[in-house]
Amino acid sequence: MPDSTEAIIDRPTKGVEDIASETGVPTHSRRLSDKVLAAFNHAYAVGEIDVARNLREILAKLERDRVIAHSQRKANPVALSHADLWVVFVEARNDYRVACEDESLDSAAVAQILARMKEAYQAWSSF
């Protein structure tokens, strides 16, 4: 059985879609800011705050460049807003985890913290 490189080389008449389906490359791509935002979300969620801070700076630069490129129409800082909502959610999630382990808190206090986490998640996911 030929490896994937041989399969592509042996049949040069293949189209881009055929090659992409063999190599696992998606036929569509997302904006760079979407990819950086996904990396930011992951970094912040796992506690890599310095990495997340650097990725947020990159998001800010991408947003500034987008606003400059589309100066004739108003460009909202979508990626940065989404990143900020993610931070609020992760912080609320972390507070909830701590509250669940704190035996001095009663169930009403924990429920209130859970409600705050749910609100933060709803704000993030509906953006």
Where do the domains of the chain lie? 1-29, 31-125
Q: Half-sphere exposure of 28 toward its Cβ, with a 13 Å CA cutoff?
A: 2
Tell whether the model's pLDDT for residue 92 goes beyond 90: yes
What is the rounded CA–CA span in Å between residue 104 and residue 99? 9
Place of tokens 């509906």: 126
Does residue 66 carry a pLDDT above 90? no
Name 114's Cβ contacts closer than 8 Å, sequence gap at least 6: 96, 99
Identify the band that residue 127 occupies on the pLDDT scale cut at 50, 70 and 90: confident
Would the pTM of this model clear 0.75, i.e. be above it? Answer: no
The CA–CA distances, whole Å, from 27 to 19, 81, 92 equal 10, 28, 37
